[in-house]
Each structure stands twice: as C-alpha cells, then as structure tokens.
Amino acid sequence: MMRRPLDRLAEESYDLLIIGGGVNGLASAWDAALRGLKVALIEKGDYGAATSAASLKIIHGGLRYLQHLDFGRMREGISERHAMMCLFPYLIEPFPFLVPTYGFSMKGKAAMRAAFMVNDFMSRNRNRDLPAAAGEIPGGKILSKSETLGLAPSIETQGLTGGAMFYDARMHNSERVTLAFALAADELGADLANYVCAKRLVVKGEQVVAVEAEDQLTGASFSIRAKQVLNACGPWNPLLLEMLGAKRGDFTYSAGVQVITRAVTTQPIGLAVTSQHEDPDSKLKRGGRHYFTTAWRGNTIWGTTDRVYQGDPDQFRITREEVIRFVEECDSALPGESLGESDILHAYGGLRPVEGRNLHTGSQVSRRYTIFDHGEDLKVNNLLSIQGIKYTACRLMAEKAVDAVVAKLGGDQVCRTNSASLSDPLVERDDLEKRLRQLGSSDALCLHLIRTWGANAPEVIAGANSDDLTPLFPTSAVCSAEVRYVVRNESVHHLSDVLFGRTELGTMGYPGAVQLDAVAQLVGDELNWDEARKRQEVEAVQARYVFKN
C-alpha cells in the first residue's frame, strides 16, 4: 500500500533524494533502493503524469539507428528492450512494424533485407532467457506487394514493391509500467510522495544540505535532508537549477504531439510512413523522416511531431490547430485513408530536450540520455541531473545515475536491475487465467487484467462481486474493482490520477460526462469527497481534453 510518508520525509536523513517522479526518477528510486540505499523521492504532480505520459508506447530495439550507422546505440536498444521485457513479462509484448518499400534505392526491398540481416545478427541473443510470458521477438521479413496492401491498404501505391516487417515491443499500458517502478521502490522501503514540490535548495559550502518542500495538497512546508540529490525533473530541470543561481538562458525544448485516431491498418501492427521532414543526422538517406503509428486498443496512435518550444514548461499546451495540421500531414502520407477531424479520438504531448545544432531542421529532439555532475558548473558536489529521452533506456540511465551516486557516497553496491523482474515471471499464463476465472473474471476482463496487472491481477479483483467486475465504459474493460483497488493502494488524490495514471479509462479520449461522473462517484466515495469536490474534479479532467468527439 503506497502512501505519502510526509512525516518521515521531514524527520529522516537520506542517502539519496530524487526530485521528479517520471519514469526516469522512479526507475532510479527503485535501482537505489534495490542496492540498499535509503531513498526519498518527491514529485510536484502525479507520478509519470508529464513527459512520461507522452509516448508512442513502444520499447525500441534500435533498428532505426542503423540508418545513422550508430551501432553502439543500436546494440544498447536491443539490450534494453530485452531488459524491459524481462522486467515486465506481461505488460510489454512483441509488436510488428511494417515499412512499405518503394523502387530499388534505400527505400527498396534490397536495402531493407540488408538492414534486417545486420539487425538479426546484432540481436541474435534477443530472446535468450526471456520469460515465457514475454513472448519472443521474431526476425525481420520481406513481404510481397499484395501482402503489404492487405495489411495497410491506404498507403501510397505508386512505385510500391512490397514491405518489410520488423518487430519491436509495445506497452499495452505505459502508465502501469511507470507506476510499477514506484510501487517496487515503495515496497523496498523508499519514501515516495506525489504532489510535493521542491521550493528551495539549501546550500552550505559546496553541498545541498536540505531541500525545502511544499505539500501541494495542504500547503504545508517541510525540509528533506539527504547526502546526495538527483534532479530528475525532465523539462523542469533548468528551473530547479535556477534555485542555485544557474542561468537558464535560451533553453529550448522539442514539443512532441501524439494523436489517437481510428485504426488505419487491418491488423494490429505499427506502420512507418514518410513525413515531409528529413532527418539531418541520417547517414543513409531514405527520403523524409518517418512518422510511426502504433495499433493500440483497436485504434491508432500517430507520432511524433517536433516543434521548437521556448518558455516555461508549466505553460506548455497543445492546440487544436496543431493537432489538426498533424493529422492532415499524416493523411497526406496515406492517400487512401481520408483522415479528418472527426476521426481524432485524443491528442496529448510533452517536451523533450533539443540539441542546438538541430534547431533549424526537421529533427530537433536529442538522441541520448545525459547525466550531469554539477560539481563543476555550479560548484555543488552532491547534485546530479539526469535527462532522459525514451522509455527504452530508463533502466539503463537509472543504473548509470545511481552508479554515480554510489561512487560519491563511497560505496560499492552494484546494480541489480538488469537481472530482476517487476512481475512474477514464474506464474504461468494458464494458471493466471484459471485463478482469474475462479474469481469471476470473464474472458475479456481476464485478458485486460493480465495485460494491465500481470501476475498481480488476482489481488486486484479478490473479493469483488459480479457488479464490481462489470466494465465501467462500453469502450474499456476496466471495472469498479480496479478503481477501488488503486484508490486504496496507490496514492490517489485526484480523479485525474485514476483516469490517466492508474487505469486506462481516460487515455483513449474523452469518456463522456456520464462516464466521468460515474468514476468520480466511485473515487469520491473512497476519499470522502462532497458533491462540490466531485464536480471540481470532473471539470479539471474535462479541461485536459483538446477533443471531445
């Protein structure tokens, strides 16, 4: 049961305080706690609610880095995809991508066949020691023109010669992946608190000796003491460093937008389509930079755009106009589709760091995670900052960051996350399904629970009656039992925490006023909200939707 231990945060002294509860901060908290460090973490909003929530749900194996001849990062992607599938054998699954082939140049079958040969060789151990529940990553294969059109009938047909199918991995519910790190760290004794904001860094000599924090729910202030501090605030990193006198200067972000539309393929696959922008870092040119689609819960996610954003990350918003423009561009890449505004189910976005040399080009986002030691630039010897890029590398970046923390503490504890699992891999899927059916789960609910909760699924619905196991929405299998479970066990304080961070109820698009009221009633009953509070919570959720189709 995860609660906010505010009294302990104020009273204890920690080995490590992490500021920022996105996937990178939470993975770092778990890694550090697993090594035996005394860990605290604070997050000014909800866990994983900002940049971590803005993803295509893909764990990348690094094939596209072959285009940059970046074999080191390609190998890193393959290794970390394997690690993530071991960590989450039920929540992350193999997923196919289709790349249409054209002509006989770099966009043709021969080039893709050669790429697959290199990729299959470099990833030859990709399925070694994977838990049975995780499945296996097949090798790439070349498809005929008719096979390609059978999967994606709307693609450009002029010059089409066929397609190339490769496999990566997909998170059915990225929010549960993020939260799993928090729950695991909490279970190991780390003290985590969402809705707690760092307001000031107290420095003596060349050390941060305390962080003054404020509870965003009550307004109460308190100090947290730690030997080492890790800044994992993502786009807010510079704002934290400004507390130490650092100049933010012309700090620039890439604003990425993802859009969910109706399905554009006949099978649950991803699709690579050529955009109007070229990748300036590519050594092997294949024309325009690709957008990728992800088949997700019967619909399609499109992503990711890149536009320059300069300003306060708290003020970042995506607009209806930019979403519509993006969909129009996606539609132009699929001549047979006719996507329009009425096909948009949901849109969301986030900020990522930019490499200065890419500001004038179509590819702005930085390509590598970074770890900064502020002993040199700010003369503060116990402060590190991390900047992540993708879910795929969150475990590895956490390992490197905690390695640096351990070295500063003078310890020798080694990383253990590369051989761990956050969902019991020994539980056979057949046994899991049997237990869930014994608890009253239908076939559809059973599939949903396993893909969302993994081996912990029986615990979630234990003791629930048949009404509690009935889907709350026609478009989702989430049931009342799940809502009650997360409110009671997972540090829920707002309706948005349930809809966007603990369940999938709000992540596919606007559920409707009646549906929101029903969930607000459930959550409010658990948290003793009055009618005015329920209405306030519903209105706050409604304001987050750009589209209410």
CA 285 to CA 277: how far, in whole Å?
12
Mean pLDDT on 375-388:
93
Q: Model confidence at 62, in pLDDT bands (50, 70, 90)?
A: confident
Query: Which tokens sit at 133?
Result: 């529940």
Q: Is the pLDDT of residue 378 over 80?
A: yes
Domains 94-169+253-353 and 429-542 share a fold: no
pLDDT tens-digit map of 23-48: 999 999 999 999 999 999 999 999 99
Q: Is the pLDDT of residue 384 over 80?
A: yes
Please calculate the CA angle 84-173-338 and round it to the nearest 5 degrees: 115
Q: List Cβ neighbours of 219 (8 Å cut-off, separation of 6 or more).
A: none
What pLDDT, on the 0 to 100 scale, is given for residue 207?
96
Domain ranges of the chain: 6-51+175-248+368-419, 94-169+253-353, 429-542
Q: Is the pLDDT of residue 417 over 50?
A: yes
CA 41 to CA 93: how far, in whole Å?
29
Judged by DSSP in three states, 30 sits in helix
Q: Is the pLDDT of residue 480 over 70?
A: yes
Mean pLDDT on 137-144:
96
Cα–Cα separations (whole angstroms), residue 347 to 27, 53, 321, 456, 507 = 26, 12, 11, 30, 9
Whether the bond into 304 is cis, omega within 30 of 0: yes
What pLDDT, on the 0 to 100 scale, is given for residue 363?
38
- Please tell me whether the overall predicted TM-score, pTM, comes out greater than 0.85 for this model: yes
Are the beta carbons of 374 and 383 closer than 8 angstroms?
A: yes
Q: Is the pLDDT of residue 86 over 80?
A: yes
Helices (H), ranges, 334-479: 374-377, 394-409, 429-438, 443-453, 457-461
What pLDDT, on the 0 to 100 scale, is given for residue 275?
62
Say which residue, 369 or 471, is predicted with more confidence.
Answer: 471
What pLDDT, on the 0 to 100 scale, is given for residue 368?
75
What pLDDT, on the 0 to 100 scale, is given for residue 26?
98
To which residue do tokens 């009935």 refer? Answer: 470
Q: Which residues are 93's β-sheet partners?
A: 170
What pLDDT, on the 0 to 100 scale, is given for residue 366?
58
Q: Is the pLDDT of residue 506 over 90?
A: yes
- The sign one gets for the Cα dihedral 67, 73, 78, 80 is negative
Q: Is the pLDDT of residue 281 over 50?
A: no
Calculate the average pLDDT of the chain: 91
Closest C-alpha to 541, from 196, 53, 517: 517
CA 401 to CA 233: how far, in whole Å?
14
pLDDT tens-digit map of 301-341: 998 888 888 888 999 999 999 999 999 999 988 999 999 99
Q: Is the pLDDT of residue 280 over 70?
A: no
Q: Is the pLDDT of residue 287 over 60?
A: no
Are the beta carbons of 369 and 397 closer than 8 angstroms?
A: yes
Q: Output phi, psi for 79, to 5 deg.
A: -65, -45
Q: Model confidence at 376, in pLDDT bands (50, 70, 90)?
A: confident
Mean pLDDT on 485-506:
98
- The sign one gets for the Cα dihedral 457, 460, 463, 469 is negative
Are the beta carbons of 44 and 216 closer than 8 angstroms?
A: yes
94-169+253-353 topology per CATH = D-Amino Acid Oxidase; Chain A, domain 2 (3.30.9)
Q: Is the pLDDT of residue 549 over 80?
A: no
**Residue-wise DSSP of 140-184:** PEEE-HHHHHHH-TTS--TTEEEEEEEEEEEES-HHHHHHHHHHH
What pLDDT, on the 0 to 100 scale, is given for residue 357?
43
Mean pLDDT on 377-402:
94
What pLDDT, on the 0 to 100 scale, is given for residue 249?
57
CA 74 to CA 464: how far, in whole Å?
46
How far does Cα 529 stand from its chain's mean position? 30
Amino acid at the residue 187 = E
What pLDDT, on the 0 to 100 scale, is given for residue 66?
84
Burial of 129 (0-12, 13-18, 19+ CB in 10 A): exposed
Say which residue, 382 or 245, is predicted with more confidence.
Answer: 382
What pLDDT, on the 0 to 100 scale, is given for residue 167?
96
What pLDDT, on the 0 to 100 scale, is given for residue 284?
38
Mean pLDDT on 468-475:
93
Judged by DSSP in three states, 370 sits in strand
To which residue do tokens 């899991």 refer? Answer: 432
* Phi-psi label, residue 129: left if phi above 0, alpha if psi -120 to 50, beta otherwise: left
CA 101 to CA 351: how far, in whole Å?
32
Superfamily of domain 6-51+175-248+368-419: FAD/NAD(P)-binding domain (3.50.50.60)
What pLDDT, on the 0 to 100 scale, is given for residue 359?
40
CATH number of this structure's domain 429-542, picked from the four choices 1.10.8, 1.20.120, 1.10.10, 3.90.1570: 1.10.8
Q: Is the pLDDT of residue 122 over 60?
A: yes
What pLDDT, on the 0 to 100 scale, is given for residue 518?
97
Q: Output phi, psi for 298, to 5 deg.
A: 85, 0
Query: Which tokens sit at 272?
Result: 């690579």
Amino acid at the residue 64 = R
CA 416 to CA 87: how far, in whole Å?
12
**To the nearest whole percent, how much of the chain has pLDDT over 90?**
79
Are the beta carbons of 71 and 119 closer than 8 angstroms?
A: no
Query: Which tokens sit at 340?
Result: 């329009």
